[in-house]
Structure formats: C-alpha cells, structure tokens
C-alpha cells in the first residue's frame, strides 16, 4: 500500500497536468489553436500573441493551478492516505511532466513555466514567491521572457538549498524533484537558448508591435493623371473669345445654307 498510493497520486497528478488549458481556453473563447501560430507552444505566452490578454491570463492561472492543487492536496492530507514526502515529490513531477507531455493532446505540451511555479508554490509559498520575484526582475531588466524562465529555473534548487530548514523544511526527495524540473525546463528552452545566443530572441511586447504593424493597411501607390495647372483670367478670356467667333461662323454658315434652299 505504501508503494501503490504514491504512484497513484503521481498518475492522477499527471492526468491533471495533461489538461492543456492553452488549447481548452482558446476553444472556449473562440480563438485559434495556439499550436497553429506563433511559437506553436500551448502556453500563456503564445496565447497572448492571439491578442486576447484575458485568455492569456486565464491560461496562466489554470496552468499554475494544475501544478499547485495536486501538490497542496498531497502535502495537506497525504499522511492519512499513507503519503509522505516522497509522494509529494512524485506528485510534483507528475503534474509537471503532464504539462510537458499531455496524454490528451498527443504528448505535445508547453514548456512548463507556469506549472512549475504552481508546483513550487505548493511545496512552499515562500519558495514560489522568491522564484517568481527572480523571474520578474530578470524579465523587467532584460525584456526576455525565456531568459527570465531559465534563470528562475536555475535559481529554484539553489534557493531551496540555501534557505532550507529556515523558511521551509529541507526534504531530499523534493530537492531531487526540483532539480529534475529545472533540467527539463532548460531542455524545453533549447531553441530559445539558441536564439538568445544569436541575438534573435523576441523581447516582451515585441509581439504586440508586430501585430500592430501587420494590422496597419499597406500604402498603395496609384498612378493619377497630373492635374492641369490653374488657368488665369487672361487665358479664360482668350478661350472664350476663340469660341465666340467659331460659334458665329457656324451660325452664319447655317443661315447661308437656309437662304440657298429658299432660292
């Protein structure tokens, strides 16, 4: 029973983590599938590229919740079910891996930043807040979301080690789980690392500017006939004088023809 219960908790956490809220929220709100545009990543950052801040915020909260809730449930009520600290670590990994490789969505998931944050908040509120603060500082300074995620993931096990037994109880299985999550996060950001090194990574807010430029109608060049120069009064009088004799000649010619017919 001591072996079955932790495995069952991990499997349930994996199934919860497999709920790809980026796809589900986009469907409910009538948006395009986030796997079909932008980076193709089913996560809050890519949902934001759809132009809906509400959908992105909801995706972020739900992705974090599916990491937080399973860990918090096992941590709070696990002992009465025979679940110890090892079960908490397995549950944390299960929820996180479920987001990366969701069974309900062809094992093609997101990068796990929000879900990892939820897991860390479940392990310790202080740990989660410190990692979130790391992400915010790096993101504000560098304007790179991917760089912020990388440094925050590297900082998570370091913070857990440095402040263990002071702000939270130090538990080896949980430390191993945090290290594994950090490694998976870095692996999932391999493409971002390459773009960062090449200076090609997009900054926070650049997507909205690109959308605005794409939405702006392109200027079309139409060939128009050159307008004639305005005519002065002398030219107008000359034209009128030229037309008047012509009309007089036409009328005189008509009268001559009429006289000939009468004769």
What pLDDT sits at residue 256? 46
Question: Residue 38: phi, psi to the nearest 5?
Answer: 60, -130
Residues 6+ apart with CB under 8 A from 87: 5, 6, 9, 10, 74, 78
Contact criterion met (CB below 8 Å) for 157 and 182: yes
> What pTM, to 2 d.p., does this model score?
0.77
**CA–CA separation, 62 vs 102, rounded Å?**
15
Name the residue ranges covered by the structural domains of the chain.
Answer: 4-207, 232-263
What pLDDT sits at residue 40? 87
Contact criterion met (CB below 8 Å) for 16 and 91: no
Mean pLDDT of 137-149: 94
DSSP codes, 140-185: HHH--HHHHHHHHHHHHHHHHHHSBTTTB---HHHHHHHHHHHHHH
Segment among 22-31, 75-84, 164-173 with least mean pLDDT: 75-84
What pLDDT sits at residue 81? 84
Taking only the tens place, the pLDDT of each residue in 64-94 is 999 999 999 999 998 888 888 799 999 999 9
| Residue 208 in this model has a pLDDT that exceeds 70 | no
What pLDDT sits at residue 170? 92
What pLDDT sits at residue 21? 96
Q: DSSP class of residue 208?
A: H
| Residue 161 in this model has a pLDDT that exceeds 90 | yes
Segment among 120-129, 181-190, 225-234 with least mean pLDDT: 225-234
Q: Which two three-digit tokens encode residue 170?
A: 């130090």
Nearest one of 18, 168, 6 to 90, comparing CA atoms = 6
What pLDDT sits at residue 38? 84
């Amino acid at each position: 029973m001591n072996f079955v219960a932790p495995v069952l908790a991990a499997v349930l956490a994996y199934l919860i983590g497999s709920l790809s809220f980026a796809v589900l929220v986009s469907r409910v709100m009538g948006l395009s599938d986030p796997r079909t545009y932008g980076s193709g990543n089913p996560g809050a950052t890519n949902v934001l590229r759809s132009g809906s801040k509400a959908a992105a915020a909801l995706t972020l909260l739900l992705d974090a919740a599916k990491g937080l809730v399973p860990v918090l449930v096992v941590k709070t009520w696990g002992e009465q079910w025979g679940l110890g600290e090892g079960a908490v670590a397995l549950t944390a990994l299960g929820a996180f891996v479920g987001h990366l490789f969701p069974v309900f969505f062809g094992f093609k998931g997101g990068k796990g930043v929000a879900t990892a944050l939820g897991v860390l908040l479940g392990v310790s509120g202080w740990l989660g807040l410190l990692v979130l603060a790391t992400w915010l500082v790096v993101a504000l300074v560098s304007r790179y979301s991917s760089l912020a995620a990388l440094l925050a993931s590297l900082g998570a096990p370091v913070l857990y080690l440095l402040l263990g037994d002071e702000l939270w109880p130090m538990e080896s299985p949980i430390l191993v789980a945090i290290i594994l999550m950090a490694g998976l996060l870095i692996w999932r950001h391999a493409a971002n690392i390459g773009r960062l090194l090449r200076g090609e990574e997009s900054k926070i807010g650049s997507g909205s500017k690109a959308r605005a430029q794409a939405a702006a109608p392109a200027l079309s060049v139409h060939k128009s006939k050159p307008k004639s120069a305005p005519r002065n009064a002398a030219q107008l009088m000359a034209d009128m004088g030229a037309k008047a004799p012509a009309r007089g000649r036409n009328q005189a010619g008509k009268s001559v023809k009429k006289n000939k017919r009468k004769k």
